[in-house]
Amino acid sequence: MHIATTACVWQEKAAAMGAGAGDVAASWRVAAVALLGAVNCVVSFVVFSFLDLLDMVLCVVYKVVDYAVEAEWKACYCSAAARDGAAAAIFVPPASASAAPGPKVVRLSPSSAKMQLEDVSDTLYVRPSLLSDATKKSGPAAPSLTVSPAIAELIRGKIGRAAPRPPRHAAPCWSDCDCKVCHSWSASSRSSHLYVHVQSPTTASGVETEDVVFVHGFISSSVFWTETVFPAFSEAAKGRYRMFAVDLLGFGRSPKPADSLYTLREHVEMIERSVLQRYRLRKFHVVAHSLGSVLALALAVKYPDAVQSLTLLAPPYFPVPEEEAGAATQYVMRRVAPRRVWPPIAFGASMACWYEHVSRTICLTICRHHRTWDRLFRLFTRNRMRTFLIEAFMCHTHNAAWHTLHNIICGSAGKMDSYLDVVAGQLACEVAVFHGRDDELLPVECTLAVGARVPRAHVTVYDHKDHITIIVGQEKLFATELEDIWRRSAAAAAAGDGE
């Protein structure tokens, strides 16, 4: 593993602690940090215990309002696990003991007549309250494969509606935005394409062009790339590379179907249909941020001979300890969303991940009224601040965000090791991984673990950068890094062809 940084994180921490071992001031600082940590734990317990209760109340409120507005009782995932066999028609155990743990959903693929198995993360419907976690005597156990009839009907209904059906009057959910940008009422993801921003080469014909696919992270969009690194590329790069920045299913200007489970396979299939097949990409580079890194790895594993280089920024990789292997998705959920009020980004992630109805309330407040918030933001900042991150953050639905978070980040817990092993052993392309040392959402240890799993990976850790400023604020530097990666990949490919 090649690490382009001044020192390993753990070495720095050890040196800092050693330097202050005999220092009275350092001892006071350690005591202060311990006290603040204890306060954080106590306050977090109170706040998240309240949120446990609030989510139960909001569950009833939304059921009543949904029925009053849309004349339909809408099922949710907060029902507790129920009698055995309740969902026998949907859930089946893994094919073998060595298979990744977790339930599978039998689904009829529209592309073939064969029944396929599709992962649905158990974190969607197994989310213990903070009080039950605190009073639990033993470690986490693998969730049962049986769920309540309400949840079974919810998933069965989504699966049934995913098949082609006669068109009907399309209407958005009352709590979602209905503007033309969002078009959250899109009937089905099967009949449409993702929004793709394409930046074509600007040079004269005769120059061999290469394709690059950019994949954004959670609650973001293609503008994360088009407003940052795209303008920062050199003229030579703009003339050589054809760049594709996608809005993932459910985000930005892409469809946000209410009948989708937003699983890994659905996201990958939409990228295939909207980019690889539509634009006939035979070989391509991949650049991905955060959650998009999981999709990038899935693409690389599926198209090992097509990927020319793989660049991952802040990948959400949490190696699962052996004792947690039976509940890998639950382990990752607790790492991504630790139910702490500090830092604020962890508090936001915890509300989005643990509380289905609280997170719907946040989407109702922010996303449904994103045009109003956008106008206010522009008015008060007088356009002195760039608004692309705010715009991207607000353009999604709760259904898309909720399912994507659980089915991609948590649900991929059992796949990441195998994906990285394929990249390490079967892909010949260059692999580069970047992370901000001050990232409070996904710690830098995630990237160091990727580097340990893929020894040839070039790992770069930026000091004083976090989950967003790893690009925003140093666009020119990162654009130069990407150009160097693509140039080295082309040189390596030419050398291989010459042999």
Residues 453, 11: Cα–Cα separation, whole Å: 20
pLDDT at 265 over 70: yes
- Assess whether 66 carries a catalytic annotation: no
Residue of 217, 209, 277, 208 whose CA lies nearest to 245? 217
For 270-329, the pLDDT digits (tens) are: 999 999 999 999 999 999 999 999 999 999 999 999 999 999 999 999 999 999 888 899
pLDDT at 74: 81
- Domain(s) labelled CATH 3.40.50.1820 in the chain stretch across 189-498
Q: Which residue has the tokens 């909720």?
A: 402
Mean pLDDT, the chain, integer: 81
Greater confidence (120 vs 6) lies with 120
The set of residues, in sequence order, having a beta carbon less than 8 Å from that of 195 and lying 6+ positions away, is 222, 246, 247, 252, 253, 254
Q: Does domain 189-498 have CATH number 3.40.50.1820?
A: yes
Residue of 290, 309, 359, 489 with catalytic role: 290
pLDDT at 202: 76
Does residue 343 have a cis bond before it (omega within 30 degrees)?
yes
Which has the minimum average pLDDT: 102-111, 165-174, 215-224, 262-271? 102-111
Residues 244, 106: Cα–Cα separation, whole Å: 33
What confidence category does residue 170 fall into, taking pLDDT thresholds of 50, 70 and 90? low
pLDDT at 107: 41
- Assess whether 467 carries a catalytic annotation: yes
What confidence category does residue 84 fall into, taking pLDDT thresholds of 50, 70 and 90? very low
Residue of 285, 357, 403, 467 with catalytic role: 467
Q: What is the pTM of this model?
A: 0.85
Residues 314, 467: Cα–Cα separation, whole Å: 7
* C-alpha distances out from residue 315 to 170, 177, 186, 197, 291, Å: 37, 30, 30, 23, 7
The residues that bridge with 251 in the sheet, in sequence order, are 396
Residue of 439, 458, 466, 489 with catalytic role: 439
Residue of 183, 197, 216, 267 with catalytic role: 216
Name the token pair of 76.
């949710």
| Contact of 245 with 227, CB cutoff 8 Å | no
Residues 131, 135: Cα–Cα separation, whole Å: 6
Greater confidence (17 vs 213) lies with 213
DSSP state of 246: E
- Three state DSSP letters for 350-376: HHHHHCHHHHHHHHHHHCCCHHHHHHH
For 439-485, the pLDDT digits (tens) are: 999 999 999 999 999 999 999 999 999 999 999 999 999 999 999 99
